[in-house]
Amino acid sequence: MFRLYVFDLDGTLVDSRRDLADAANALLEECGGAPLAEERIGRMVGDGAAVLVSRVFAAAGVSLPPDALPRFLALYDRRLLDHTKPYAGMIETLDALRERAPMAVLTNKPLAATRRILDGAGLAPFFGDAVVGGDGPLARKPEPAGLQHLASAAGVGLASTLLVGDSVIDWETARRASARICLARYGFGFDGFPLEQIRSDDHVIDTPTDLIHL
């Protein structure tokens, strides 16, 4: 059915919530704030690091310092792979899917960090150069440019492209690009998803291996 599989990174391919939360809380504490619950920070992920940091400081009631973003990125860089790992069954799923169609990654995370995580998690060989990060020339999700670029590079129509993600941002990206969407209910970005927006032709999975059966 699908000629290209495009994956979100955080909350879809890998569980990175603890490392993101640890970095955000370390910065909060440096600025005199109290740490937030990991689950709460997980719900703030998806729009890129700058938005995450802004949301965390607003939730903690702490003034956002002008150098918050570079400080967060430095703190996160040191924790990038402390706890982050592929979701159970992900490697087996990707191994099965690559027999059917090419695969790519589309994330709002900076490209260098994305590639380090893919390498460290043993996922890089599945995607090769088909990786778009949030700090390149293409507009970040939910703008459809990155998804359109990956489909064009693969020579695949968007109607035959499946975006696999865990958040409303991924859902909206697929909608804007006229691509198909598969929502990963197991991902931390799915918490709070507006369920009434899910359409009958949208796919929802509870585990990575469910993808094999779509």
Query: What is the pLDDT at residue 46?
Result: 80
- Short-list 24, 45, 47, CA closest to 36: 24
Ranges of CATH 3.40.50.1000 domains, the chain: 4-15+84-213
Cβ–Cβ < 8 Å for 190, 169: no
In whole angstroms, what is the distance from residue 104 CA to residue 11 CA?
Answer: 16
User: What's the CA gap between 202 and 214, in Å, rounded?
Assistant: 11
Indicate which residues carry an active-site annotation: 8
The pLDDT, as a whole number, for residue 159 is: 96
- pLDDT of 1 > 90? The answer is no
pLDDT in tens, 144-174: 999 999 999 999 999 999 999 999 999 999 9
pLDDT of residue 47: 83
Domain 17-77 is in which class?
mainly alpha
Q: Which pLDDT belongs to residue 133?
A: 96
User: What are 6-50's pLDDT values in tens digits?
Assistant: 999 999 999 999 999 999 999 999 999 999 999 999 999 888 889
Cβ-contact 77, 113 below 8 angstroms: yes
pLDDT at 62 over 90: yes
Question: Do the beta carbons of residue 210 and residue 183 sit within 8 Å?
Answer: no
Domain with CATH 1.10.150.240 in the chain: 17-77
CATH of domain 4-15+84-213: 3.40.50.1000
Element (H, E) at 172: helix 168-177
Question: What pLDDT score was predicted for residue 87?
Answer: 98
* CB-CB contact of 51 with 95 (8 Å): no
**Closest C-alpha among 174, 4, 8, 6 to residue 107:** 8
Strands (E), the chain: 4-7, 14-15, 85-86, 103-106, 131-132, 161-165, 180-184, 203-205
